[in-house]
């Protein structure tokens, strides 16, 4: 099982790769997780954010 800090670190690394112009699929592959897992983690992070 992946710890929460590890999930956050991986999501940030993937987001940085995407921002640099790399595709989502390639970014996930480089970090070592599936695109489906990344999307699930990202949805969970967004759901945890307080609404303004």
Full-model pTM: 0.82
Taking the C-alpha atoms of residue 23 and residue 17, their distance in angstroms, rounded to an integer, is 8
pLDDT at site 52: 67
**pLDDT tens, position by position, 1-52:** 778 889 999 999 999 999 999 999 999 999 999 999 999 999 998 888 887 6
The domain ranges of the chain are: 4-46
Neighbours of 36 (CB within 10 A): 9
**pLDDT tens, position by position, 20-34:** 999 999 999 999 999
User: Any residues with CB less than 8 A from the CB of 28 and at least 6 apart, and which?
Assistant: 14, 34, 35, 37, 38
Taking the C-alpha atoms of residue 14 and residue 40, their distance in angstroms, rounded to an integer, is 13
Radius of gyration of the chain (CA): 11
């Amino acid at each position: 099982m992946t710890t929460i800090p590890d999930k956050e670190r991986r999501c940030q690394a993937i987001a940085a790769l995407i921002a640099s112009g790399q595709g989502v699929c390639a970014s996930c592959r480089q970090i070592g997780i599936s695109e489906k897992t990344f999307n699930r983690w990202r949805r969970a992070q967004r759901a945890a954010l307080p609404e303004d």
